[in-house]
Chains A and B, each alone.
Chain A
Amino acid sequence: MAKTDFQDAFNDCIDRLNAGESIENCVQLYPEHAELLRQLLGTAQLVYRARIVDDEVRRDQDALRDQIIARARQARSQQAARSTTSRWVFPLTAIAALLVVAIIGSSLFLATRQANPSLPEVTVALTMLHDGSDLSTEVAIALTNTNSASSLVVTLPVLLTATPPQGIVPTSVAFMSPEASSTAQPTTTTTVTTTPPGTATLLPTLGPIGTTMPTAGFAATGIAPTPAPLNGDSVVLTAAALSSLLGQGAGTLQPMLATPTPLTIIPLQAGEIDDNARWDQYLNYRSNYLQQFRSSVRDVDVTNRQIITVADEQGLPLLGARVEVYAGQAIVSDTRTYADGQTLFFPNAAPVARGQQSYRVVVTAQNNTVEFTLDPQRGPLWTVQLSEQRTASAPKLDVLFLLDSTSSMADEITQLQNNILAISSHIAALPGNVDTRYSLVTYRDRGDAYVTQQYDFVPNVADFQARLNAVQADGGGDGPESLNEALHVAVQNVSWRGADTVKLVFLVADAAPHLDYANDYDYSLEMAEAAGKGIKIHPIASSGLTPDGEFIFRQLAQYTFGHFLFLTYEQGRSGAPGESRPDLSVGTPASPETGGQGDYSVEQLDELVLRLITEELAALNQPIQQRGGVVPALTSVPPQTGAVVPPAPRLSLILPVAFGTLVASIVVGYTFRFRSPIERRKRKNDEFEIVEAE
């Protein structure tokens, strides 16, 4: 893993530089990386140079010192005053609280003893493998002794302390029943598997402990630490605990596998933007980005977008109709309609198509072909109705998760796995007898253990989830990843079903594709291939996505009629789900509290993805006349069979709209003229406040 080696070398050199060594000294230690290290360390030194001049620091330090110290003295004196007046409050409160706790504790203890007279003393030790950080959590463990029909639930806050402080180390902590006080010594381990949807069960496969291991095994359920135990975590039962249980219960301990307790899955939150619906804003974003960084992306010109909708004779959308567009004799676009019957054509995307007055469009469904001339000057919305009847059958759905599994995703991959597990379980439970298949493609980068790994479509959600569970983050490290190749595999190397299938890709990643590799695929061509197969791509941006990555992800979504999703976080807290995503250009979230509309809404990721899927399926049976949103395509006169409905003449809209606007303006103006008048007063800080007029 050359990249991992390089990252270690780079990190070592940074430490050496920070300790005062020179770049050349460090580079000599890693001759195989010398040139790249020299370049990057030279760049890194620039950051140190960009620090503020010492004079400014000293001046501001001097300027603020007196204020800070005065503030501290003031606070201290206030504290002293408070403490004088309330000297007896705390002790009295503490005594009262202790008394209450003692009374309640005694009552519970006695009640427990009466309910479970044979309750054994249990000591259970939990071992978790984690990254070396101290972990404060709460663990609940339920133990059942079938012989005595007694049960015990122990819930205790714990602090797992890692020693040594780095690396993957097992850490033990003792849990005790309310009556027990023995200290645990871990002696054996077993594995906890996470069973979808988010349940954890301790398998009854404990190894022999001493001489008294129960033959039928032992199970603990309801293990609910936060974060949840995962594959690889271990739970340890001590010999003392088991012998204590056996000594008291004298029988067989049955597993409690039948009623697993759901694990707490930390729901990720995500925002959503449909750039095809906010077209003007998208074009602005696109234009601004390209003015600065055109060379960092593939510029596919999507201006002058045309939306073509294909319906059957009932006015229902036709999924999978082929839409070919010709400029002269050259084919310039070849796409399939999505579940809502729509597809996109971009006259400026291909050089050969650019600047044409009109285009010849051939629409082919199962039994019919219609041809018409598309003149972009007449408007962007086109509807074609074919004398076609759809066959009644269960909807087919192919869902592929395309997952970046490089180490930069390590922070989130576990949560994403859990969320995708939940999503897949929800999909499997969709009403309407949906014929669903699942596929997974993971990818890293050249030089890593693998570039792409594909698991072709399977109908069994459990098979898919088992594959997903096995994914681990590793490799990567140089920013962009092999997303080009991954898209190629996802679009072209797995066995998507035919035209009558709803096809969705959810791309989960935090990095742009490499655009500097020789002999690589090209995401802009892959997204065109996706549109050609009727595949929608919904990218889900994890944390740390660069501006070029955002632009490319939004290109993928926009071009394939997908939505751009992005995990959102609590402001100022890295990794905590919230509503903020300041590193992206997506704007501000809507605020239900203040009524602010915002630029995007935030939902739980699993709910958001599930909504996109259900909307896609629902669109199959939604007559296109009733559809709102992006494409109010049909005119009020139902089109004739086999006819093409060009966009309604725009003049017909101008007069009613103008008249309506005039009336609305008069009404609004009149209303505000005679209601409480307001005026805006300019403040010295250039903000405005609205105040009642005198």
Chain B
Amino acid sequence: MLLIVLPDNSQDDSLLQRLQAGDVAALAQTYEAYFPALYQFVRLKVGNRELAQDIVSEVFVTLIEAMGRPRAPRANLRAWLFTVARNAVYTSYGQASRLPEVELEEWMPAPTSSDPSVLFSESFPIERVRHALRMLTADHQEVLILRFGQRLSLQETADLMGKTTGAIKSIQHRAVETLRSILLEPEADHG
């Protein structure tokens, strides 16, 4: 069994101890600290807003049920939460192989920038990026969301996905190239 190894975080350490003791205030603090990241992660994967709410709720319900018990998170709170969220997404979607459609107006507009390197990214509407993301494999989607969407480190991403850092390096390279090639194809090709 591979254990998740993530950098220690003193704030998390304190939260962990209090969660292990069943402290409801610690849960509230965890909720404030981690809800946005978890929601972004889940929402980007499942697309549907109500379902994302359900899944994130389920993550915290799982945490509540674990609090004060031996199965409470002990090593790394963020990794624990993301792992629960990831499993909840898979459980909810079962065999569904693609992320569902999302409403276009829910996506943030492209930021403006004078950096010439950003010109490429600005030339694609967000809905097209989302569409392209949905066409990637589950592993590719996840690496992109965790690494670029959530800005997790290579090691954190590897631990969450149960892969080696070498594999994540390879996958992230491959995923970005695939995403780019999809984006550069004519739009009609993607239905």
Which residues of A are at the interface with B, using a C-beta cutoff of 8 A? 6-8, 10-11, 14-15, 18, 22-24, 27, 38-54, 56-57, 60-61, 63-65, 67-69, 71-73, 75-76, 79, 131-137, 159, 162, 165-166, 291-293, 295, 406-408, 410-411, 476-479, 511, 543-547, 571-575, 580, 582-585, 587-588
Q: Do B159 and A133 touch across chains, with their CB atoms under 8 A apart?
A: yes
| Shortest distance between the CB of A212 and any CB in chain B (Å) | 38
Complexed CA–CA distance, A63 and B31 (Å): 12
Q: Chain B contacts of A588 at CB under 8 A? A: 95
Q: Chain A contacts of B189 at CB under 8 A? A: 292-293, 295
Complexed CA–CA distance, A132 and B164 (Å): 9
A-B contact pairs, 21 of them (CB 8 A): A10-B173, A14-B172, A18-B148, A23-B117, A24-B115, A47-B145, A47-B179, A51-B40, A52-B39, A54-B36, A57-B35, A64-B53, A64-B57, A68-B57, A68-B61, A131-B165, A134-B3, A135-B1, A295-B185, A544-B137, A571-B90
| Shortest distance between the CB of A31 and any CB in chain B (Å) | 14
The residues in B between 14 and 55 inclusive whose CB is less than 8 angstroms from any CB of A are 22, 24, 27-28, 31-32, 35-36, 39-40, 43-44, 49, 52-53
Complexed CA–CA distance, A54 and B106 (Å): 10
Complexed CA–CA distance, A73 and B23 (Å): 10
Q: Given A60-B49, A582-B138, A408 and B39 touching (CB < 8 A)?
A: no
Complexed CA–CA distance, A386 and B143 (Å): 58
Complexed CA–CA distance, A45 and B144 (Å): 10
Complexed CA–CA distance, A53 and B161 (Å): 26
Q: Chain A contacts of B120 at CB under 8 A? A: 38-39, 42-43
Nearest residue (CB) in B for A37 is B117
Verify if B77 is at the interface (C-beta below 8 Å from A).
no
Complexed CA–CA distance, A14 and B154 (Å): 9
Interface contact tally, CB-CB below 8 A = 259
Q: Do B22 and A43 touch across chains, with their CB atoms under 8 A apart?
A: no
Complexed CA–CA distance, A49 and B109 (Å): 8
| Shortest distance between the CB of B5 and any CB in chain A (Å) | 6
Q: Do A72 and B64 touch across chains, with their CB atoms under 8 A apart?
A: yes
| Shortest distance between the CB of A573 and any CB in chain B (Å) | 7
Complexed CA–CA distance, A134 and B137 (Å): 28
Please pick, from B39, B108, B148, the residue contacting A14 in the complex, using a CB distance under 8 A: B148
Q: Given A51-B40, A64-B57, A71-B61, A407 and B121 touching (CB < 8 A)?
A: no
Q: Do A15 and B154 touch across chains, with their CB atoms under 8 A apart?
A: yes
Please pick, from B44, B94, B140, B144, the residue contacting A52 in the complex, using a CB distance under 8 A: B44
| Shortest distance between the CB of A57 and any CB in chain B (Å) | 5
Complexed CA–CA distance, A549 and B73 (Å): 39
Complexed CA–CA distance, A304 and B23 (Å): 68
Q: Do A582 and B95 touch across chains, with their CB atoms under 8 A apart?
A: yes
| Shortest distance between the CB of B98 and any CB in chain A (Å) | 9
Please pick, from B5, B49, B129, the residue contacting A47 in the complex, using a CB distance under 8 A: B129
Q: Do B108 and A574 touch across chains, with their CB atoms under 8 A apart?
A: no
Q: Given A42-B117, A42-B119, A44-B148, A407 and B97 touching (CB < 8 A)?
A: no
Q: Given A52-B106, A583-B97, A24 and B180 touching (CB < 8 A)?
A: no
Q: Given A11-B172, A46-B179, A49-B110, A544 and B139 touching (CB < 8 A)?
A: yes
Please pick, from B3, B130, B145, B174, the residue contacting A408 in the complex, using a CB distance under 8 A: B174
Please pick, from B1, B91, B149, B162, the residue contacting A571 in the complex, using a CB distance under 8 A: B91
Q: Do B178 and A46 touch across chains, with their CB atoms under 8 A apart?
A: no
| Shortest distance between the CB of B36 and any CB in chain A (Å) | 5
Please pick, from A478, A580, A587, the residue contacting B173 in the complex, using a CB distance under 8 A: A478
Q: Do A479 and B163 touch across chains, with their CB atoms under 8 A apart?
A: no
Complexed CA–CA distance, A291 and B191 (Å): 9
Contact count band on B: 35 or more
Known: A24-B117, A46-B183, A69-B24. 10 other contacts (CB 8 A): A18-B147, A49-B110, A51-B44, A68-B31, A72-B24, A134-B5, A166-B165, A476-B170, A572-B91, A582-B93
Verify if B56 is at the interface (C-beta below 8 Å from A).
yes
Q: Do B118 and A47 touch across chains, with their CB atoms under 8 A apart?
A: no
| Shortest distance between the CB of A186 and any CB in chain B (Å) | 23
Complexed CA–CA distance, A57 and B53 (Å): 10
In the complex, the 7 A-B pairs of residues with the closest C-beta atoms, listed nearest first: A572-B90, A23-B117, A42-B120, A47-B148, A479-B174, A18-B151, A134-B3
Q: Do B5 and A583 touch across chains, with their CB atoms under 8 A apart?
A: no
Q: Do B107 and A53 touch across chains, with their CB atoms under 8 A apart?
A: yes
Interface SS majority for chain B = helix
Verify if B9 is at the interface (C-beta below 8 Å from A).
no
Q: Given A408-B167, A574-B162, A64 and B56 touching (CB < 8 A)?
A: yes
A-contact bits for B50-73, CB 8 A (1 contact / 0 none): 001100110011001101100000
Nearest residue (CB) in A for B89 is A572
Q: Chain B contacts of A15 at CB under 8 A? A: 153-154
Q: Given A24-B115, A408-B170, A50 and B163 touching (CB < 8 A)?
A: no
Q: Do A10 and B172 touch across chains, with their CB atoms under 8 A apart?
A: yes
Nearest residue (CB) in B for A40 is B176
Q: Do A53 and B108 touch across chains, with their CB atoms under 8 A apart?
A: yes
Q: Do A47 and B149 touch across chains, with their CB atoms under 8 A apart?
A: yes
Q: Do A49 and B90 touch across chains, with their CB atoms under 8 A apart?
A: no
Verify if B74 is at the interface (C-beta below 8 Å from A).
no
Q: Do A68 and B3 touch across chains, with their CB atoms under 8 A apart?
A: no
Q: Chain A contacts of B65 at CB under 8 A? A: 75
Please pick, from B64, B68, B95, B119, the residue contacting A580 in the complex, using a CB distance under 8 A: B95
Q: Given A43-B183, A574-B139, A7 and B170 touching (CB < 8 A)?
A: yes
Complexed CA–CA distance, A478 and B174 (Å): 5
Complexed CA–CA distance, A57 and B38 (Å): 10
Q: Do B57 and A411 touch across chains, with their CB atoms under 8 A apart?
A: no
| Shortest distance between the CB of A258 and any CB in chain B (Å) | 33
Complexed CA–CA distance, A169 and B187 (Å): 48
Nearest residue (CB) in A for B188 is A292
Complexed CA–CA distance, A572 and B173 (Å): 23
Complexed CA–CA distance, A135 and B5 (Å): 10
Verify if B79 is at the interface (C-beta below 8 Å from A).
no
**Most B CB atoms within 10 A — which of A8, A49, A76, A545?**
A49
Q: Given A411-B164, A575-B163, A50 and B149 touching (CB < 8 A)?
A: yes
Complexed CA–CA distance, A381 and B162 (Å): 49
Q: Chain A contacts of B151 at CB under 8 A? A: 18, 48
Q: Do B173 and A40 touch across chains, with their CB atoms under 8 A apart?
A: yes
Q: Chain A contacts of B177 at CB under 8 A? A: 40, 478-479
Complexed CA–CA distance, A228 and B191 (Å): 47
| Shortest distance between the CB of B51 and any CB in chain A (Å) | 12
Nearest residue (CB) in A for B145 is A47
Q: Chain A contacts of B163 at CB under 8 A? A: 411, 574-575
| Shortest distance between the CB of A373 and any CB in chain B (Å) | 41
Q: Given A407-B166, A407-B167, A574-B161, A48 and B97 touching (CB < 8 A)?
A: no
| Shortest distance between the CB of A600 and any CB in chain B (Å) | 11
Q: Do A27 and B117 touch across chains, with their CB atoms under 8 A apart?
A: yes
Please pick, from A22, A47, A544, the residue contacting B144 in the complex, using a CB distance under 8 A: A47
| Shortest distance between the CB of A56 and any CB in chain B (Å) | 6
Please pick, from A135, A411, A572, A587, the residue contacting B87 in the complex, using a CB distance under 8 A: A572
Nearest residue (CB) in A for B147 is A14
Nearest residue (CB) in A for B31 is A68
Q: Chain B contacts of A49 at CB under 8 A? A: 108, 110-111, 121, 126, 129
